[in-house]
Amino acid sequence: MQIGLVGKPSSGKSSFFKAATMIDVDIADYPFTTIKPNVGLGHVTKDCICKEFGVECNPNNSICEEGKRLIPVKLIDVAGLVPDAHLGKGMGNQFLDDLRQADCLIHIVDASGLTDAEGKVTKNHDPSEDIKFLEREIDLWFTEIIKRALEKYKRKRRVTKVDLLDILTDQLTGLGIVKGEIKEVMDKIDVKETQKFTSYLRKMSKPIIIAANKIDLPTSEENYKEMISNFPDLTIIPTSAAAEIALKTAEKKSLIKYQENKIEIIGDIEGKQKKGLEFIRENVLKRRDSTGIRKCLNTSVFDVLDYIAVYPVADANKLTDKKGNILPDTYLVKKGTKLKEFAFMIHSDIGEKFIGGLDARKKIKLGANYELKDNDVIEILTQN
Ligand SMILES: Nc1nc2c(ncn2[C@@H]2O[C@H](COP(=O)(O)OP(=O)(O)OP(=O)(O)O)[C@@H](O)[C@H]2O)c(=O)[nH]1
Ligand SMILES: [Mg+2]
């Protein structure tokens, strides 16, 4: 699972990345602070099933924190994108190739309106414009790739009988798009209508949600409301990456206890720092219910991409792996995934030796075509 962070310079992509991963990366108020992409792990959260089973779990690939499972997702923070990047402006859009494998994009928008289209300091910039331009640039990036495929098709067709679907599949696998998806779009839209075709394919393979960032600043509220009314079909989540960094840092130093929308001051803090935390408590946590960072990740994975969580175990009775760890792993899989496909995801060897599964709740056998359900706990049965 990979999520790409995109947006114009200085919108707060690296701040969002740091807030989600706690990896120290360069953050600054001038454009193009980031040039080479930052890659790291953030987490989505879900109620852990340890409570339901009345056990104490020993997570291995994930974390259990006070009854919540934290499941890792890969985040990629890239350079800022500016209008006409596809024509080489700013850093161009070559770096978008780093996002080829991303399943979903979070567009970090500077909701305050205090930076212009190129990330320079200004006043009264309309962030709704940023939403339009970014979608256009991402679509143009796709268009270039599809145009290349069409040219290749034309060249090859002169000498051999080639299938357009195969050529498109070949060119688009790098974007994580599979043949079935391309066929689905081809059945609906003629490839010659390249713009329409591209836009549809892009929405399907790289859906975008919006983080209305810097929501802590006073000028953000009105812009945020306008974005919501201008783009009723988009998912727009208010965020403050800066607040999340401040809270997580204070938590690390044992100055506060921090949970989702609550903080409790436990350390010895006074003056400016205390005021800062109180400001965040009143203006972000109470008003927005959270800093929005985790909400963006959860919404991307569970709502937009429609993934579910599945717990594979080696022993369905004891709920353990071979070493005796209870509920060790949580996998994120697309809704609709079949049991045998899941076996292959765990390990190709397990997939090849697959003979069936065992449901740990109902203690019944499951076949290869069983469609996985959210929070399933499954022992995969293999030939020796
Ligand atoms: N008030 C406030 N400032 C923020 C927030 N997020 C980021 N900033 C500030 O915005 C500026 C740019 O942040 P970065 O995270 O470096 O932005 P970026 O999008 O990675 O920028 P480039 O790498 O140059 O494309 C910095 O001064 C941050 O401190 C936020 O939620 N609230
Ligand atoms: Mg950056």
**How many Cβ atoms from other residues are within 10 Å of residue 177's Cβ?**
22
Question: Do 86 and 151 share a domain, yes or no?
Answer: yes
Q: Are 141 and 164 found together in one domain? A: yes
Q: Residue 156: its pLDDT value, please?
A: 86
* Pair 299, 343 in one domain: no
Q: How far is the CA of 94 from the centre of ligand 2 (A)?
A: 16
The CATH number that applies at residue 100 is 1.10.8.470
- With a 6 Å cutoff on the Cβ, whether 27 touches ligand 1 is yes
Q: Answer whether residue 364 is part of any domain.
A: yes
- Per-residue pLDDT of 249-291, as tens digits, reads 999 999 999 988 899 999 888 888 899 999 999 999 999 999 9
Whole-angstrom distance, CA of residue 109 vs CA of residue 166: 37
Mean pLDDT estimate for the chain = 94
Let me know if residue 251 belongs to a domain.
Answer: no
Q: How far is CA 16 from CA 190, 211, 301, 315, in A?
A: 38, 9, 16, 39
Average pLDDT over residues 318-336: 97
Within a domain: residue 367? yes
Task: Tell whether 298 and 152 lie within a shared domain.
Answer: yes
Ligand nearest to the CA of 283: 1
Contact 133, 233 (CB under 8 A): no
The runs of H, that is alpha helices, within 160-192 are: 164-172, 179-188
CA distances from 325 to 69, 312, 319, 345, 376 (A): 15, 12, 8, 20, 17
Token pair, residue 266, equals 């436990």
- 107 and 139 part of one domain: yes
At 363, which CATH number?
3.10.20.30
Residues bordering ligand 2, an ion, CB closer than 5 Å = 13-14, 33-34
Nearest ligand to the C-alpha atom of residue 80: 1
Share of the chain above pLDDT 70, in %: 100
Residues 367 and 238 occupy one common structural domain: no
Q: Tens of pLDDT along 135-173?
A: 999 999 989 889 988 998 888 888 887 889 999 999 898
Residue 48 confidence (pLDDT) = 98
pLDDT in tens, 60-95: 999 999 999 999 999 999 999 999 998 889 888 888
With respect to residue 233, please indicate whether it lies within any of the assigned structural domains: yes
Structural domain includes residue 270: no
Model confidence pLDDT, tens digit, residues 199-233: 999 999 999 999 999 999 999 999 999 999 999 99
Q: What angle do CA 276, 279, 281 make, to 5 degrees?
A: 110
Do residue 297 and residue 322 come from a single domain? no
- The total of structural domains in the chain comes to 2
CA distances from 91 to 111, 142, 231 (A): 23, 17, 28
Dihedral (C-alpha) 367, 371, 377, 381: value to the nearest 10 degrees?
20
Phi-psi label, residue 114: left if phi above 0, alpha if psi -120 to 50, beta otherwise: alpha
Mean pLDDT, residues 369-382 taken together: 98
Distance CA 162, CA 159 (A): 9
**Mean pLDDT calculated for residue range 29-47:** 96
Q: Determine the average pLDDT of the residues in 94-105.
A: 90
- Residues 16-35, mean pLDDT to the nearest whole number: 96
Instruction: Look at residue 259 in the predicted model and tell me its pLDDT.
Output: 87
pTM of full prediction above 0.85: yes
pLDDT at residue 211, rounded to an integer: 98
Give percent above pLDDT 90 in the chain: 82
Task: Tell me what pLDDT residue 192 has.
Answer: 87
Helix residue ranges per DSSP H, 173-332: 179-188, 194-205, 220-230, 241-252, 271-280, 287-288, 293-298
List the domain range (segments joined by +) for residue 341: 308-382
Same domain, 86 and 149: yes
Is the CB–ligand 1 distance for residue 292 below 6 Å? no
Residue 366 one-letter amino acid: L
Ligand 1 atom with least separation from CA of 217: 1
Output the residue whose Cα is nearest ligand 1's atom 21: 10
Distance separating alpha carbons of residues 129 and 108, to the nearest angstrom: 13
Phi, psi of 227 (to 5 degrees): -60, -40
- Asked if residue 103 and residue 224 are part of one domain, the reply reads yes
Burial class, 369, CB count within 10 angstroms (exposed 0-12 / middle 13-18 / buried 19+): exposed
What is the model's pLDDT at position 15?
98
Note the Cα 45 to chain centre separation in Å. Answer: 13
**294 has pLDDT over 90:** yes
Instruction: Assess if residue 236 is contained within a domain.
Output: yes
pLDDT reported for residue 215: 98
pLDDT confidence of residue 236? 98
Ligand 1 centre to CA of 231 (Å) is 23
Any atom of ligand 1 within 6 Å of the Cβ of 216: yes
193 and 329: one domain?
no
Please name which of 301, 309, 250 lies closest in space to residue 277, comparing C-alpha atoms.
250
Residue 42 belongs to some domain of the structure: no
Range 292-309 average pLDDT: 98
Ligand 1 pocket residue status of 213, Cβ below 6 Å:
yes
CA of 201 to the centre of ligand 2 (A): 27
Query: What is the C-alpha separation between 126 and 136, in angstroms, rounded?
Result: 16
Q: Quick one: pLDDT at residue 9?
A: 97
Asked if residue 384 has pLDDT above 80, the reply is no
Residue 3: CB atoms within 10 Å: 23
Specify whether 233 is located in the same domain as 363. Answer: no
Measure 320 CA to ligand 2 centroid, in angstroms: 41
Of 279, 305, 331, the last residue of a domain is: 305
Phi, psi at residue 278, to the nearest 5°?
A: -65, -35
Same domain (yes/no): 88, 185? yes
| Pairing mode, strands 2-6 and 68-77 | parallel
In a domain, 224, yes or no: yes
